[in-house]
Structures are given as structure tokens and as C-alpha cells.
Structure 1
Amino acid sequence: MFIKNGKPKSIINFEKNKPKNIEKCFDKKSNILYCGPFNNGNGEIYIYDENGNLISKDHFKNGEFVN
């Protein structure tokens, strides 16, 4: 995923077209943000706006979006 300035917003590893784990998340100044407790396709992925403010927590199970 990328922010409008072309810098990466997050680095996500996929397996069989499903998110498996997240390496890093960034704000628009390339500061590293906590991505949430997400591993092996399970847990939460934290979503931030361009300024680094947490705007949502997406829940996944087995790589599938739950809510």
C-alpha cells in the first residue's frame, strides 16, 4: 500500500492472495507505526490516516476479513 506521495504505507506479505503477516506500517514522514497484533493471517490490522492517526482496526481470521 502507498500514501499519495509514493512512499510505502505498509509492507504486507501475502500467501495465496490473502494477507499472512505485516512487516511494517508507516506515516507520511516514513515513521514506523505499530501495525497491530497480526500474524499467520489472524488478528487485527491497524489502519492509519496519512498523519499517523489510528482510524480503524480490521479483524482477520485465516487471512479473511471478519469486520
Structure 2
Amino acid sequence: MAEKSFQALHLNKRAINEGLNMDIERAFAYEAELFGIAFSTEDQKAGMEGFLQKKKVQFRKPS
């Protein structure tokens, strides 16, 4: 997990922790909202580029 995007891991953790306290419809909407945030990050762009070029990506560490 240390090699994965910190931002994506953080958003996944939020989805799990906060989603457990929601009804299923709200949890799905919240997950979609967080996915939109994750999809707009520089890490997503770097990850997609690395995937397409078949190269390993070094995600930036949080400051």
C-alpha cells in the first residue's frame, strides 16, 4: 500500500469509515463524490499515464 497514491488511499479510508454510518443510497452517492475528487488529482493523471506506458509510477508523498 505504501506504493499507492496517498490521496486515493485517504479517500478510500474516508469512504469506508464515513460510509458505514450512512444508508446504502447515501453511501453510494458519497462514494461517487469521493471518486470524482480522486479522479481529478495529479496522482490519477500520473497513474493513468504510467498504466498506458506500462511504467511504474512514483506517487508524491504528502507534505
TM-score by length of 2: 0.23
More strand by share: 1
More helix by share: 2
Q: Which has the higher contact order (CA 8 A, sep 6+)?
A: 2
TM-score by length of 1: 0.22
